[in-house]
Amino acid sequence: MEKKFSNMETQVIHSGSQNDLLGSLTMPIFQTSTFTFASAEQGERRFAGEEDGYIYSRLGNPTVKALEERIALLEGAEAGLAFGSGMAAVSAVLLALTKSSDHIICSQGLYGCTYGLLELMEEKYNITHSLSFMENEEQIRSLIRPETVCIYIETPINPTMKIIDLELVSKIAYEYGIPVVVDNTFSSPYLQQPLKHGCDIVLHSATKYICGHGDVVGGLAAGKKDFIDKVAKTTLKDIGGIMAPFDAWLLLRGLKTLPVRMDRHCENAARISEKLKSHPMIEKVLFPGDPEHPDYPIMRKQMKQGGGLISFTIKGSKQDAQTLMNSLKLIQIAVSLGDAETLIQHPATMTHAVIPENKRIEMGITDQLIRLSVGLEKWEDLWEDLEQALNFCMR
- 370/322 Cα distance (integer angstroms): 9
Using the minimum distance from each CB to ligand LCS, give the nearer residue, 336 or 366.
336
The pairing of strands 309-314 and 282-286 is antiparallel
Residues facing residue 373 across a β-bridge: 309, 343
How buried is residue 198: exposed, middle or buried, by Cβ count under 10 Å (0-12/13-18/19+)? middle
- 64/52 Cα distance (integer angstroms): 16
Task: In angstroms, give the least distance from the CB of 18 to ligand LCS.
Answer: 27
Using the minimum distance from each CB to ligand LCS, give the nearer residue, 71 or 393.
71
Using the minimum distance from each CB to ligand LCS, give the nearer residue, 11 or 205.
205
Residues facing residue 150 across a β-bridge: 104
Using the minimum distance from each CB to ligand LCS, give the nearer residue, 180 or 281.
180
Closest CA to 152 of 189, 102, 190: 102
Task: In angstroms, give the least distance from the CB of 374 to ligand LCS.
Answer: 14
Residues that bind ligand LCS (CB under 6 A): 85-87, 90, 111, 113-114, 154, 158, 183, 185, 205, 207, 217, 219, 335-337, 351
CB atoms within 10 A of CB 124: 9
Task: In angstroms, give the least distance from the CB of 89 to ligand LCS.
Answer: 8
Task: In angstroms, give the least distance from the CB of 327 to ligand LCS.
Answer: 21
Closest CA to 67 of 258, 352, 307: 258
Closest CA to 31 of 239, 249, 218: 249
Using the minimum distance from each CB to ligand LCS, give the nearer residue, 85 or 170.
85
Task: In angstroms, give the least distance from the CB of 52 to ligand LCS.
Answer: 30
- 386/332 Cα distance (integer angstroms): 11
Residue nearest to ligand LCS (CB): 86
Task: In angstroms, give the least distance from the CB of 286 to ligand LCS.
Answer: 15
How much helix, strand and coil, in percent to the nearest 5, is found in the chain? 40, 15, 40
Using the minimum distance from each CB to ligand LCS, give the nearer residue, 310 or 393.
310
Task: In angstroms, give the least distance from the CB of 117 to ligand LCS.
Answer: 10
Closest CA to 180 of 214, 215, 148: 148
Backbone angles phi, psi at 255, to 5 degrees: -60, -30
- 76/279 Cα distance (integer angstroms): 41
Task: In angstroms, give the least distance from the CB of 175 to ligand LCS.
Answer: 27
Using the minimum distance from each CB to ligand LCS, give the nearer residue, 66 or 243.
243
Task: In angstroms, give the least distance from the CB of 73 to ligand LCS.
Answer: 21
Using the minimum distance from each CB to ligand LCS, give the nearer residue, 281 or 344.
344
Using the minimum distance from each CB to ligand LCS, give the nearer residue, 370 or 393.
370
- 128/123 Cα distance (integer angstroms): 9
